[in-house]
Amino acid sequence: MIEIEKLEKTYRRGDGTPVTALRDVSFKIEAGEFVTVRGASGSGKSSLLNIIGCLDTPTSGTYRLVGEDVSGYSDEQRSHLRCRRIGFVFQSFNLLPRTTALENVEVPALYSGERVDERKAAALLERVGLAERGGHFVSELSGGEQQRVAIARALMNDPPLLLADEPTGNLDSAAGESIMHLLTELHAEGRTIIVVTHDEATAAHAGRELLIRDGIIAMDRLQVAASAQVPR
Amino acid sequence: MRIGRVIVLSLRTLARNPLRSLSMMLGVTIGIASLTAMASIGESTRQETLRQFKRMVGSYDVVNIVPGAASTRGMPSLTTVEPSLKFTDAAAIAAEIKGVRQVAEVQNAFDIDVKYREKATVSAIYGVSPNWLEMRDYFIESGEIISAEDNASLARVAVIGQDIVTGLFPDEDPLGKQVRIGNVPFLVKGVLVSRGAGPGGSSLDGIIFIPVLTASKRLFNRDFLTTITAQLDDPDRPEAVVEAISALLRERHGIVPPGEDDFTIANARANAEQIAEVGSTLGTVMTGVAVIAMIIGGTVIMSLMLIAVSERRREIGVRRAVGATRSDVMLQFLVEAATVSVLGGIAGIALGIGGATLAAMRQALPVALIWETIGIAVLVSVGIGLVFGLQPAWKAANIDPIDALRS
Ligand SMILES: Nc1ncnc2c1ncn2[C@@H]1O[C@H](COP(=O)(O)OP(=O)(O)OP(=O)(O)O)[C@@H](O)[C@H]1O
Ligand SMILES: [Mg+2]
Tell me the per-residue pLDDT of B45-54, one tens digit each, with 9 for 90 and over. Answer: 777 777 777 7
List C-alpha distances in Å: A146 to A30, A183, B41, B367: 30, 15, 56, 57
Distance separating alpha carbons of residues B1 and B98, to the nearest angstrom: 70
Q: How far is CA A128 from the centre of its chain?
A: 16
For helices B326-362 and B371-397, give the axis angle rounded to 10 degrees. 150
Q: What is the pLDDT of residue B39?
A: 80
The number of distinct structural domains making up chain B is 2
Confidence of residue A232 (pLDDT cuts 50, 70, 90): very low
Checking A123-126 for CB contacts under 8 A at 24+ apart, the result is A124/A152, A124/A153, A124/A155, A124/A156, A125/A101, A125/A149, A125/A152
Q: What is the pLDDT of residue B161?
A: 93
Residue nearest atom 3 in ligand 1 by C-alpha distance = A11
- Between the two ends of chain B, the Cα-to-Cα distance in Å is 27
Task: Using alpha carbons, select from A49, A79, A28, A51 the residue that is nearest to residue A166.
Answer: A49
**Residues B380 and B313 grouped into a single domain:** yes
User: Residue B118 sits in which domain range?
Assistant: 83-261
Q: Which range is least confidently modeled, A59-63, A197-201, B128-132, B176-180?
A: A197-201
Distance separating alpha carbons of residues A2 and A52, to the nearest angstrom: 8
Write down which residue in B261, B288, B320 finishes a domain.
B261
Q: Is B136 part of a structural domain of the chain?
A: yes
Q: What pLDDT, in 10s, does the model give residues A27-53?
A: 999 999 999 999 999 999 999 999 999
Write down which residue in B261, B289, B308 finishes a domain.
B261
**Residues B184 and B252 grouped into a single domain:** yes
Neighbours of A37 (CB within 10 A): 27
Is the Cβ–Cβ distance between B112 and B182 less than 8 Å? yes
Task: Using alpha carbons, select from A130, A140, A199, A143 the residue that is nearest to residue A170.
Answer: A143
Measured at the alpha carbon of residue B398, what is the angle toward residues B392 and B404, in degrees to the nearest 5?
A: 100
Residues paired with B187 in a beta bridge: B157, B178
Q: What is the pLDDT of residue B389?
A: 95
Distance separating alpha carbons of residues B145 and B156, to the nearest angstrom: 13
Contacts of B174 (CB under 8 A, 6+ apart): B116, B160, B164, B165, B168, B188, B191
**Residues B123 and B230 grouped into a single domain:** yes
Task: Using alpha carbons, select from A15, A31, A52 the residue that is nearest to residue A212.
Answer: A52
Q: What is the pLDDT of residue A204?
A: 75
CA of B316 to the centre of ligand 2 (A): 20
Which residues of chain B are within 8 Å of residue A154 when distances are taken between CB atoms? 322
Q: How far is CA B9 from the centre of its chain?
A: 45
Q: Which amino acid, residue B360? A: A
**Residues B223 and B89 grouped into a single domain:** yes
Q: What is the pLDDT of residue B392?
A: 96
SS3 B261: coil
Q: Do B319 and A98 touch (CB under 8 A)?
A: no
Neighbours of A8 (CB within 10 A): 15
**Residues B108 and B226 grouped into a single domain:** yes
Q: Of all atoms in ligand 1, which is nearest to the CA of residue A9?
A: 12
Of B5, B12, B328, the CB nearest to A116: B5
Q: Is B75 part of a structural domain of the chain?
A: no
Q: Do B1 and A110 touch (CB under 8 A)?
A: yes
Residues paired with B190 in a beta bridge: B143, B159
Which residues of chain B are within 8 Å of residue A92 when distances are taken between CB atoms? 407
**Residues B255 and B279 grouped into a single domain:** no
Q: Is B78 part of a structural domain of the chain?
A: no
Task: Using alpha carbons, select from A124, A94, A132 the residue that is nearest to residue A186.
Answer: A124
Residue A6 pLDDT more than 90?
A: yes
Residue A228 pLDDT more than 60?
A: no
Q: Is B331 part of a structural domain of the chain?
A: yes
Q: Do A55 and B401 touch (CB under 8 A)?
A: yes
**CATH for the stretch A2-94+162-222:** 3.40.50.300
Write down which residue in B230, B261, B292 finishes a domain.
B261
Q: What is the pLDDT of residue A224?
A: 66
Q: Is B176 part of a structural domain of the chain?
A: yes
Asked if omega into B258 is within 30° of 0 (cis), the reply is: yes
Does residue A39's CB lie within 6 angstroms of at least one atom of ligand 1?
Answer: yes
Q: Is A44 on the interface with B (CB under 8 A)?
A: no
Distance separating alpha carbons of residues B238 and A145, to the nearest angstrom: 84
Q: Which ligand is nearest to the CA of A43?
A: 1
Burial, B205: exposed, middle or buried (Cβ in 10 Å; 0-12, 13-18, 19+)? buried
The CA R_g of chain B, rounded to the nearest whole Å, is 33
**Taking the CA of residue B152 as centre, how many other CA atoms within 13 Å lie in the half-sphere pointing to its CB?**
3
Distance separating alpha carbons of residues A87 and B323, to the nearest angstrom: 9
Q: What is the pLDDT of residue B291?
A: 79
Q: Is A57 on the interface with B (CB under 8 A)?
A: no
Does residue A45's CB lie within 6 angstroms of at least one atom of ligand 1?
Answer: yes
**What φ, ψ does residue B110 adopt, rounded to 5°?**
-110, 165
**Residues B376 and B322 grouped into a single domain:** yes
**Residues B296 and B351 grouped into a single domain:** yes
CA of A40 to the centre of ligand 2 (A): 9
Q: Is B61 part of a structural domain of the chain?
A: no
Is the Cβ–Cβ distance between B151 and B213 less than 8 Å? yes
Complex ipTM:
0.92
Q: What is the pLDDT of residue B70?
A: 64
Q: Of all atoms in ligand 1, which is nearest to the CA of residue A44?
A: 18
Is the Cβ–Cβ distance between A220 and A36 less than 8 Å? no
- Biggest alpha carbon distance in chain A? 51
Q: Is B38 part of a structural domain of the chain?
A: yes
For helices A143-154 and A173-188, give the axis angle rounded to 10 degrees. 20
Which residues of chain B are within 8 Å of residue A118 when distances are taken between CB atoms? none
Average pLDDT, chain A: 89
**Residues B218 and B289 grouped into a single domain:** no
Distance separating alpha carbons of residues B30 and B354, to the nearest angstrom: 13
Suggest the residue from B7, B11, B319, B322 to mutate for an interface test with chain A (most A CBs closer than 10 A).
B322
Does residue A197's CB lie within 6 angstroms of at least one atom of ligand 1?
Answer: no
Which residues of chain A are within 8 Å of residue B400 when distances are taken between CB atoms? none
**What φ, ψ does residue B353 adopt, rounded to 5°?**
-65, -40
Q: How far is CA B270 from the centre of its chain?
A: 12
Burial, B21: exposed, middle or buried (Cβ in 10 Å; 0-12, 13-18, 19+)? buried
Residue A231 pLDDT more than 50?
A: no
**What φ, ψ does residue A159 adopt, rounded to 5°?**
-75, 145
| Residue A187 distance to chain B (closest CA, Å) | 20
Q: What is the pLDDT of residue A230?
A: 45
DSSP states along B178-227:
EEEETTEEEEEEEEEPP--B-GGG-BS--EEEEEHHHIIIIIS---B-SE
Is the Cβ–Cβ distance between B53 and B199 less than 8 Å? yes
Burial, B317: exposed, middle or buried (Cβ in 10 Å; 0-12, 13-18, 19+)? buried
**Residues B350 and B253 grouped into a single domain:** no
Distance separating alpha carbons of residues B184 and B196, to the nearest angstrom: 28
Distance separating alpha carbons of residues B353 and B357, to the nearest angstrom: 6
Looking at residues A77-84, what average pLDDT do you find? 94
Q: What is the pLDDT of residue B81?
A: 81
Q: What is the pLDDT of residue A95?
A: 93
Residue nearest atom 7 in ligand 1 by C-alpha distance = A11
Per-residue pLDDT of chain B (407 residues; tens, 9 = 90+): 678 888 888 898 898 889 989 998 988 898 888 888 888 877 777 777 777 777 766 667 888 898 887 655 567 777 778 888 999 999 999 999 998 999 999 999 999 999 999 999 999 999 999 998 888 778 889 999 999 999 999 999 999 999 999 999 999 999 999 999 998 999 999 999 988 777 666 788 899 999 999 999 999 999 999 999 999 888 778 888 888 999 999 999 998 878 888 888 887 777 666 666 665 565 666 677 777 888 888 999 999 999 999 999 999 999 999 999 999 999 999 999 999 999 999 999 999 889 888 887 887 777 776 788 888 888 989 999 999 999 999 999 999 999 998 85
Q: What pLDDT, in 10s, does the model give residues A94-137?
A: 999 889 999 999 999 999 888 888 899 999 999 999 988 889 99
**Residues B22 and B150 grouped into a single domain:** no
**Residues B322 and B248 grouped into a single domain:** no
Measured at the alpha carbon of residue B264, what is the angle toward residues B258 and B270, in degrees to the nearest 5?
A: 120
